Amino acid sequence: MPKHANNAKALAGQRRHRRQWLTFLRMCRYGVNNFTRNAWLTVAATAVMTITLLVVFTTVVAQNVLADTAAQVGKRIDRSIYLKTGTTEKEAGNIMSDLRGLSNVESVTFVSTEEGRAEFAEKNKSSAGTLDALNQAINKIPATIRITLKNVNDTSQLVTYVKTSSELKKYIEPSRQPTFMSERKSATDTIATWTRTAQQLGIGASILFTSISMLIIFNTIRMAIFNRKEEIQMMKLIGADRSFIRGPFVVEAIVYGFIAAIIATALGIGLLYGMRDKLASWGVAIGPTLDYILMYIGFVLLGMIALGGLVGTISSLMATRRYLKI
């Protein structure tokens, strides 16, 4: 192929790319202009989008806070295996070694009968009127193996070990069940149930508000199309591409999501800061989640903007496909 033909082809390609770039810039400009045309519709759509993104933000944060809080509370709940009174740490050594080998076990500690008696006496020192009963109880206090789990809601490995370990059967106290197999297990089950319920409610609320937001933006774009019928007809008559006619409406919806994401992120972080001390005083583990958000604030904001832009884009494409007859 002659050199001048290659040059002409390259020049034509450059012109085509330049036209495409200029077209994109015009669509963005028209979309931003459309954003400011109807103040009330713009405010309504942005407000609903802001609420939607704030609900999503709150849901994600709440799930992390609930998980951290449940883990902290779960670790404070005693998971103990009771051994016969007088069992020494040396005798329980193999049992503790086996327990430490379980993948879900974080730590194992041994409390001797003497240490258990001292703890019991300290807790009940105000009950001097029932000294005989206390003395009888102290004499029956077993040695104890206390266990901390990595996943506080999963005690299956411990239950299996208790049922199958021949070493444990030599020393276990037959009259006292391990706490994770007794009625006290209901405490951890309740925590896990409430955590799952709260997470499901949060996800449901996010889906609901996202649907409402998409419906509001859908109707906003539809009204904008009806208000600009003559303008759209003129653009079709002069040969405008479908993408050029649709583009400004998509840009307009993305602007809703962009502004709403910034507002929702600021409101969400502000609310977390305002409630931090109060929630902490109630034992809610909000600190780790808030620290994580602040450490990665840029990524959090980008994620919110991407979500807002996605909701806006889907809503506008649905509206233009249905009502923009091109």
Give the pLDDT mean for 114-122: 76
Q: How confident is the model at residue 49 (pLDDT cuts 50, 70, 90)?
A: confident
What percent of the chain stands above pLDDT 90? 5
Second CATH level (architecture) for the domain 78-183: 2-Layer Sandwich (3.30)
Report the alpha-carbon angle 203-149-281, nearest 5.
Answer: 60
pLDDT number for residue 112 = 86
Residue range 232-280, pLDDT digits in tens: 677 667 776 777 777 777 787 888 888 899 999 999 999 888 888 888 8
Q: How confident is the model at residue 52 (pLDDT cuts 50, 70, 90)?
A: confident
Read off the pTM. Answer: 0.65
Does 303 or 68 have the greater pLDDT score? 303
pLDDT number for residue 266 = 93
For residue 239, is it left (φ>0), alpha (ψ between -120 and 50) or beta?
left
pLDDT number for residue 10 = 60
Give the pLDDT mean for 116-124: 73
Question: Is 68 buried (19+), middle (13-18) or exposed (0-12) by CB count in 10 A?
Answer: middle
**Contact predicate 253/320, CB 8 Å:** no
Residue range 304-315, pLDDT digits in tens: 999 888 888 888
Q: How confident is the model at residue 40 (pLDDT cuts 50, 70, 90)?
A: confident
**Contact predicate 82/142, CB 8 Å:** yes
pLDDT number for residue 74 = 66
Q: Is 287 helix (H, G, I), strand (E, B) or coil?
A: helix
Strand ranges of the sheet holding 143-149, from the earlier edge strand across to the other edge:
80-83, 143-149, 105-111
Residue range 169-226, pLDDT digits in tens: 888 888 888 887 765 556 566 666 776 777 777 778 778 877 887 787 777 777 777 7
Q: How would you label 179-191 residue by residue, b for 16+ Cβ within 10 Å and e otherwise?
A: bbeeeebeebeeb
Give the pLDDT mean for 26-43: 67
pLDDT number for residue 267 = 93
Q: Is 83 helix (H, G, I), strand (E, B) or coil?
A: strand
CA distance 45 to 32: 14
Computed over every residue of the chain, the mean pLDDT equals 77
Q: How confident is the model at residue 16 (pLDDT cuts 50, 70, 90)?
A: low
What are the extents of the domains in the chain?
A: 28-72+191-323, 78-183
Residue range 72-114, pLDDT digits in tens: 776 666 688 888 888 888 888 889 999 999 998 888 989 888 8
Strands (DSSP E) contained in the chain are 80-83, 105-111, 143-149
pLDDT number for residue 115 = 82
Does 295 or 284 have the greater pLDDT score? 295
